[in-house]
């Protein structure tokens, strides 16, 4: 702030000088198609001051112009690196109302990695299963850090993040193990009769993210199991009892208890079920 000399008993006007103090990428490198943060600091430009951000290369070729506003003399935004950008990228912030402009530091651009063949080692999983997750990752360096994000799939796109794992690229490939656990009570899964869209078996997918470039896997289906034991009034096992189970997806299955009074249903749709027996 400028120094000012004057009387204390008089009204004085002070003109404050506006400035763009800092335009900095939050990372030093990035690949085409990835998002990188851009941090902007200003002084005395006014709240919600209109700004333009020009994205260009070292030759001055402009790839994009972004209109935005600066609040509280600060802005942190994300910039998608253009697909055709090569070698170096700059962001120039312009505040035309104040006649100000400032160019960022250099962001070095490299070709994006290719992520292919994303696979679960199973198509269905039960609680406690150890699943192997794998993918081929090329056009990146050996040891590149990679994030594996696991989501519960939502048909409307509001996927729930279950967990995030870290690994590194080795021999153009990533592999990681994950123990499957269903996170909530299966009683909360709507049955075929409780929703207009019908029963939806919980499904999962994983996302491999390398430097902001990512790809998604196919879906993994959650399957449950049911074990029931029948005892008489003396707490002795009852064998030979025919049982019909109605599953939450509207299907049903019949089985008979064994010599220990036990009946087991494997690979069933998770959720509420109904037991029917003539006994």
Domain boundaries, the chain: 19-110, 114-222, 225-277
pLDDT for the residue 1: 53
Buried/exposed code over 239-258 (b: 16+ C-beta within 10 A; e: otherwise):
eebebebbbbbeeeeeeebe
pLDDT for the residue 236: 87
pLDDT for the residue 7: 66
Q: How far is it, in rounded angstroms, from Cα 189 to Cα 199? A: 8
CATH architecture, range 19-110: Sandwich (2.60)
Among candidate residues 87, 112, 138, 107, the one with its CA nearest the CA of residue 32: 112
Average the pLDDT over 156-180 and give the result.
Answer: 96
Average the pLDDT over 51-78 and give the result.
Answer: 94
Average the pLDDT over 148-172 and give the result.
Answer: 95
User: 8 falls in which pLDDT band (50, 70, 90)?
Assistant: low
pLDDT for the residue 196: 83
Average the pLDDT over 48-75 and give the result.
Answer: 94
CATH superfamily of 114-222: Macroglobulin (MG2) domain (2.60.40.1930)
Among candidate residues 114, 90, 72, the one with its CA nearest the CA of residue 36: 90
Whether the predicted pLDDT of 2 surpasses 60: no
Between 196 and 24, whose confidence is greater? 24
**Model confidence, pTM:** 0.70
Report residue 79 as tokens. Answer: 């910039």
Report residue 255 as tokens. Answer: 């089985």
User: 96 falls in which pLDDT band (50, 70, 90)?
Assistant: very high
Whether the predicted pLDDT of 150 surpasses 80: yes
Q: How far is it, in rounded angstroms, from Cα 259 to Cα 88? A: 74
| 114-222 and 19-110 share a CATH fold | yes
Strand, helix or coil for residue 187: helix
Average the pLDDT over 78-103 and give the result.
Answer: 94
Q: How far is it, in rounded angstroms, from Cα 242 to Cα 278? A: 8
Q: How far is it, in rounded angstroms, from Cα 259 to Cα 239? A: 5
Q: What is the pLDDT of residues 14-45, one digit of tens each?
A: 777 899 999 999 999 888 988 999 999 999 98
pLDDT for the residue 264: 93
- Count each helix (H run) and each strand (E run) in the chain, helices first: 0, 23
């Amino acid at each position: 702030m400028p120094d000012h000399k004057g009387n204390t008993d008089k009204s004085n006007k002070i003109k404050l000088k506006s400035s763009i103090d800092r335009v900095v990428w939050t990372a030093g490198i990035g690949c085409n198609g990835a998002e990188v943060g851009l941090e902007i600091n200003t002084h005395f430009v006014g709240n919600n001051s209109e700004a333009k951000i020009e994205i260009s290369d070292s030759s001055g070729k402009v790839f994009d112009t972004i209109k935005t506003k600066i609040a509280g003399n600060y802005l942190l935004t994300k910039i998608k690196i253009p697909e055709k950008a090569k070698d170096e990228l700059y962001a120039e912030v312009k505040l035309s109302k104040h006649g100000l402009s400032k160019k960022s530091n250099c962001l070095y651009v490299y070709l994006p990695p290719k992520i292919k063949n994303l696979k679960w080692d199973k198509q269905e999983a039960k609680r406690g299963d150890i699943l192997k997750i794998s993918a081929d990752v090329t056009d990146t360096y050996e040891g590149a850090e990679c994030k594996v994000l696991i989501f519960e799939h939502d048909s409307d796109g509001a996927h729930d993040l279950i967990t995030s794992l870290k690994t590194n690229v080795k021999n153009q490939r990533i592999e990681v193990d994950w123990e499957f656990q269903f996170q909530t009570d299966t009683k909360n899964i709507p049955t075929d009769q409780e929703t207009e869209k019908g029963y939806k078996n919980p499904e999962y997918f994983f996302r491999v993210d390398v430097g902001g470039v990512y790809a998604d896997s196919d879906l993994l289906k959650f399957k449950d199991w049911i074990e029931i034991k029948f005892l008489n009034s003396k707490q002795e096992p009852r064998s030979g009892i025919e049982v019909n189970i109605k599953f939450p997806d509207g299907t049903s299955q019949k089985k008979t208890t064994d010599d220990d009074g036990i009946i087991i249903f494997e690979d069933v749709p998770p959720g509420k079920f109904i037991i029917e027996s003539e006994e």
